[in-house]
Amino acid sequence: MRMIGKRKRTRTGAGGAAPRERGRLRAVLSAATTALLTATALAALPQTTAHAADTLGAAATEKGRYFGAAVAANHLGETQYAATLDREFTSVTAENEMKWDALEPSRGSFTFTRADQIFDHARSRGMDVRGHTLVWHSQLPGWVSGLGASDLRSAMNHHITEVMTHYKGEIHSWDVVNEAFQDGGSGARRSSPFQDRLGDGFIEEAFRTARAADPAAKLCYNDYNTDGVNAKSNAVYAMVRDFKSRGVPIDCVGFQSHFNPNSPVPSDYRANLQRFADLGVDVQITELDIEGSGQAQATDYGNVVRACLAVTRCTGITVWGIPDKYSWRSSGTPLLFDDNYDKKPAYDAVLNALGGTPGNGDPGDPGDPGDPDAACTATYTTAEQWSGGYNGKVTITAGSAPIRSWSVDVTMTPPQKVVSVWNGSPTWDGSGTVMTVRSSWNGSLAAGASTSFGFTVNGGDTPSPQVGACTAS
């Protein structure tokens, strides 16, 4: 049994909830700004040799994807766990802390303490957060199962609204409904309190409620054993196609992708991802783990990553845990790091598939890794400044040749701390003072063209951060 904190929500009105303070931070700071200070630009020297990204998150970012991990709050105090998370990943999913029994153990009484611990850790380090999960037949508190149809509908919609409002504007994707279809060849819906009392329409209603609660979040349906074309995936496909045809708000489909020697990566994995993407939704690999070891496991991991990269609308990959010892299938050693946090061959295979090892590409192509013409400069200015903090801006300018991606190190002086980053994907070193920001959607620049990223700092307004050399590829 998990121990759950007892912090009550701040209310804004009947049935309402205050959004996360971090979601309003920039707006509040802007309103409170009393002076606009432009600092002297610090131009970095151009980088004349390019290198491939050397972490999972950085390499995925250069491919326009996120690379995430499922995280348990009770492990965040472990130094190696937190350091590996902060170094390697750009997205976080709570393993259990955002499920119904953790957030609303008693009807109408919400406790976000453990979920907020994960959320705050991730956002303070510039990582995105996936929400998992709002409506699921499992890990329900006992009070839900005893409700009649009318009460259950009200409770479901209230739970979705309260949870999504708490994190409004801060969760990039939500698993709105999880595992609603049966295994086997029937393609039928799974028996659950929601299905049995509300009927097939509960999924549509959940998605419509979710859209109203947070219009900015991507709304996903998530399931397992749907990785290849089979009766279960066909049933999910038919539902998504129907939703899209009728304007039901669904933005993405999650594929859990739990594999083992008896249930390997299917040969039509990529084709299956593509057929869902062709419906006009994003696809995400949401809970990846592959039991095995050595080269066989590494090959499977590499194939999964390459399948995602081959599908334009495959937006990211999440592995279900960090070291093997904390996996829900630990005896099968299914993850990328062993019990000592050493990188396994599967890690190298994933990094290589993401293009994150040196020597990839044709050095004769402008902008490819190894091209000496791939260069950029970085200049820093302080935008808004207030007592105790400021907004910083770094402008990236391509050199004499076009580039496909860029990265810049930004070093902070304690107690200053970056609390949010935009237009870039950050990772942190073990000390927490050096932030490496890599391009996200804005990596491709024509020769001489510019883009920028920004960040908010709390903990003092001087000295200015040190901005290192810009690295291009």
Residues known to be catalytic: 179, 287
Distance CA 206, CA 175 (A): 11
> How far does CA 125 lie from the centroid of its chain?
13
64 touches 441 (CB < 8 A): yes
| Nearest-angstrom CA–CA distance, 58 and 404 | 14
Short-list 353, 438, 455, CA closest to 51 = 438
Q: Are strands 282-290 and 376-386 parallel, antiparallel or unpaired?
A: unpaired
Q: Please name the residues in contact with 164: beta carbons below 8 A apart, sequence gap of 6 or more.
A: 131, 134, 171, 174, 210, 213, 214, 217
Q: How far, in Å, CA of 335 to CA of 353, rounded?
A: 16
How far apart are alpha carbons 122 and 48 in whole angstroms? 33
Tokens matching residue 212? 């109203």
- How remote is the C-alpha of 468 from its chain's centroid? 26
DSSP 415: T
State yes or no: cis peptide before 465, omega within 30 of 0: no
Q: Which amino acid is at 350?
A: V
